[in-house]
Amino acid sequence: MNLHRQLALLAFAASTAAASVAQAATLGYIYVGPEKDYGYNTSMDIGRQYVEKSIAGTKTLHVENIAETAEVEKVMERMIKQGGASIIFATSYGYLDYAIALGKKYPKVAFLHAGGLKTGDNVGTYWANSDDAMYLAGMAAGAASKSGKLGFIAAFPIPQVVRSINAFTLGAQAMNPAATTTVVWTGGWLQPPKEAEATNSLADAGIDVIGEQVDSPMTIAQTAEKRGIYMVGKDVDVSKLAPKAVLTGASWNWGPTMLKLTKEIQAGTWKPSHVRGDLKDGSVVLDPFGPAVPEGVRKTVLAKKDDILKDKFVVWSGPIAAQDGKPVLPAGTKMPMEQLESMNFFVKGVVGTVQ
């Protein structure tokens, strides 16, 4: 081959290589609720923006308010066919079966589902365990409560929520062994009037610190601030809305996990699996302390956080007793994964029904 042809081939190869490197992926994000809900969906959207900024040239498509019905399949398909998305983030639990079905139809597209327990050839899941952060937040709550009575406002008694309540209570009891947590169910993920009234009811019952797990902590935070009681947030940092009331919180940090998965998929090294983050890898963050948390308590909580990060302390280790006092986990043992993922009982000190 003469030099001319060699140079031409080289130029052609270089331009093709450059094109494939410069061609960043299009990502599709689907949210079950409003993306500006100041809660769960916002946390997923923050992750999306993180990935968009981190990889130059990345384009993201995002659609909100897609119910967990067959509609989501159509939305995902539109993103793939018309939007050119090669990675789909299905950010709500109820999207799993639709993602797996569509995954079979589009084997070249990668599907990442939040919180699922099934995978496919091109469908993986990602989630984060917030129990450690809820335990630490519970410690701050237990220390801040003068009455020893805590409260928790939540949507549905699913295992994730039950675990949060239990972790919160165990943490509080580490600072005050007599601490109790009264649970109020609102029956829906986004019910601001019920959340406001639930906060008022708990405050009337002499409860001075509230934890929560609903779609957004903003209504509860603002009502707590109005009533002069404290609260612990979740999903996003809500201290701006309630600067006096918020002690701390357990916030999501999906960005790094999403970025890592995106990079693996683009590099071709991704294998579908259940990716689970936690406090240790930074997928969950303990929010900065509010003004009501004294220095001594901060030191104690941060020391415990350090123990958790160094595997010197495990939240779900015995002895743990159920609401009625019956031992559930003997001293020195750790709770097995199946029992953890299907938790349907409250620990001792929690007041309320788990149905």
Nearest CB to other proteins, comparing residues 206 and 282:
206
Half-sphere exposure of 257 (CA within 13 A, CB side): 29
Between residue 63 and residue 82, which ones bind other proteins under the rule CB under 8 A?
65
Query: By CB under 8 A, is residue 27 in contact with other proteins?
Result: no
Query: By CB under 8 A, is residue 151 in contact with other proteins?
Result: yes
Query: By CB under 8 A, is residue 194 in contact with other proteins?
Result: yes
- DSSP code, position 37: S
Query: By CB under 8 A, is residue 205 in contact with other proteins?
Result: yes
| CA-to-CA separations, 118 to 99, 101, 115, 125, 129, in angstroms, rounded | 10, 12, 9, 8, 17
Residue range at the interface with other proteins (CB under 8 A); choices 106-114, 118-126, 197-205, 329-337? 197-205
Which of 89, 86, 98, 94 is CA-nearest to residue 47? Answer: 89
Cβ(91)–Cβ(127) under 8 Å? no
Query: By CB under 8 A, is residue 218 in contact with other proteins?
Result: yes
| Selected binder of other proteins within 97, 197, 278, 281 (CB under 8 A) | 197
Min separation Cβ 88 and other proteins, Å: 23
Biggest alpha carbon–alpha carbon distance for the chain: 90
| Selected binder of other proteins within 204, 295, 311, 338 (CB under 8 A) | 204
Min separation Cβ 198 and other proteins, Å: 5
Min separation Cβ 11 and other proteins, Å: 48
Nearest CB to other proteins, comparing residues 42 and 119:
42
Query: By CB under 8 A, is residue 226 in contact with other proteins?
Result: yes
Total binding residues toward other proteins, as defined by CB under 8 A: 44
CA of residue 182 relative to chain centroid, distance: 23
| Selected binder of other proteins within 91, 222, 248, 253 (CB under 8 A) | 222
- The residue written with tokens 């406002």 in the block is 153
What is d(CA 213, CA 303) in angstroms, rounded to the nearest whole number?
Answer: 25
Cβ(248)–Cβ(297) under 8 Å? no
| Selected binder of other proteins within 173, 182, 253, 266 (CB under 8 A) | 182
Where are the strands (E) in the chain, listed by range? 26-30, 59-63, 87-90, 110-114, 123-128, 149-154, 180-185, 209-213, 230-235, 246-252, 274-277, 284-286, 320-321, 327-329, 350-351
What is d(CA 89, CA 109) in angstroms, rounded to the nearest whole number?
Answer: 11
How many of the other CB atoms lie within 10 Å of CB of 112? 26
Query: By CB under 8 A, is residue 344 in contact with other proteins?
Result: no
Query: By CB under 8 A, is residue 240 in contact with other proteins?
Result: yes
Min separation Cβ 240 and other proteins, Å: 8
Residues near other proteins, by CB under 8 A: 33-34, 36-38, 65, 149, 151, 157, 182-188, 190-198, 200-202, 204-207, 216, 218-219, 222-223, 226, 240-241, 351-353, 355
